[in-house]
Amino acid sequence: MGFFKKLKDGLKKTRESVVGQIDSMLQAFTVIDDELFDELEELLVMGDVGVETANKICGMLRVRVREKGITKPAKIMDEIAEISAEILSEGGNEMVLNTQPSIILVIGVNGVGKTTSIGKIANYYVQQGKKVTLAAADTFRAAAIDQLKIWAERSGADIVAQGEGSDPAAVVFDAISSAKAKGTDVIIVDTAGRLHNKKHLMDELAKIRRIIDRELPDADKEALLVLDATTGQNAVNQAAEFAKATGITGIVLTKLDGTAKGGVVLAIKDTLGIPVKFIGVGEKVDDLQPFDPEEFSRALFVKEEG
């Protein structure tokens, strides 16, 4: 219940802004009609759910209202929560890291909280009793290497690093060699903050992937894109561009507690088909946790007593 409370608190801005408006709108209606659905769709779009996804939610809602014989507008919010959970659950949200070692490649532009997220993910797996090695392959910034070293120390993970300007693929090779020797469970690779239109950075990412595929051909591999929830629909656009340029298996969505744009989670999953695997709702080391669609939907849409 600890993280659910953090999640509910973290989604407060979205709940008050978007869900609060939906709740007020529903209270203003005495019957469920086309006008209600039109207003609901508009409010969902304003909440960064996206036009396509808002339309889908309202379509599914119309069917349920008819099938269940729902006549009171106030009953609709619970149905929205259920639909949200179903959309977010499609395709699964669990990390697949069953081999020893498994490897997580972490991608994202500077400023989204990428290196911090890596530190928190490392801490999560160390707390589960796993041996973790961090690969400091963001060699374009000395600060990124130093930051990752601090996180390694804080979380109890090993780290493999070279100097600023060194070959990122060589760092990854060394990290894999070290992990094999030490019996590491999970390797987490930090990569340079990159934009989709910077070809040389994408080429470098492809080189890292080739090293991973060559050295760990049978390992479970996850490629996580870190996105800043406060950017709303821009996060969806960013994810779409990265997905075109490189394979992504999941999203890490940070800074949900600092925005009223929490609806972007639905837009990312529904329009791109990329599952959200971790969400961050605060600054503390345990404020980044695996994403639970039902908990998220309940925290966002369902009023809890007390």
Q: What is the pLDDT of residues 72-82, one digit of tens each?
A: 998 899 999 99
Inter-CA distances, 91 with 241, 262, 304, Å? 21, 20, 28
- What is the reported pLDDT for 2? 66
Q: What is the CATH number of the domain that holds 43?
A: 1.20.120.140
Task: Place 90 in a pLDDT band, splitting at 50, 70 and 90.
Answer: confident
Q: Is residue 37 over pLDDT 90? A: yes
Inter-CA distances, 267 with 201, 218, 263, 298, Å? 27, 33, 7, 17
Q: Is residue 52 over pLDDT 60? A: yes
| pLDDT tens digits, one per residue of 1-33 | 466 677 777 777 877 777 888 989 999 999 999
Task: Place 194 in a pLDDT band, splitting at 50, 70 and 90.
Answer: low
Domain count across the chain:
2
Q: How far apart are the first and last CA of the chain?
A: 14
Q: Same domain, yes or no, for 113 and 9?
A: no
- What is the reported pLDDT for 306? 39
Q: Is residue 91 over pLDDT 90? A: no
| Residue 97 maps to a domain | no
Q: Same domain, yes or no, for 273 and 155?
A: yes
Q: What mean pLDDT is predicted for residues 124-146?
A: 92
Domain encompassing residue 114: 102-292
| Residue 305 maps to a domain | no
- What is the reported pLDDT for 197? 55
| Residue 95 maps to a domain | no
Q: Same domain, yes or no, for 68 and 187?
A: no
- Binding-site residue numbers for GTP are 108-115, 190-194, 254-257
Q: Is residue 196 over pLDDT 60? A: no
Domain finish residue from 54, 89, 124: 89
- Binding-site residue numbers are 108-115, 190-194, 254-257
Q: What mean pLDDT is predicted for residues 57-74?
A: 94
Q: Same domain, yes or no, for 185 and 287?
A: yes
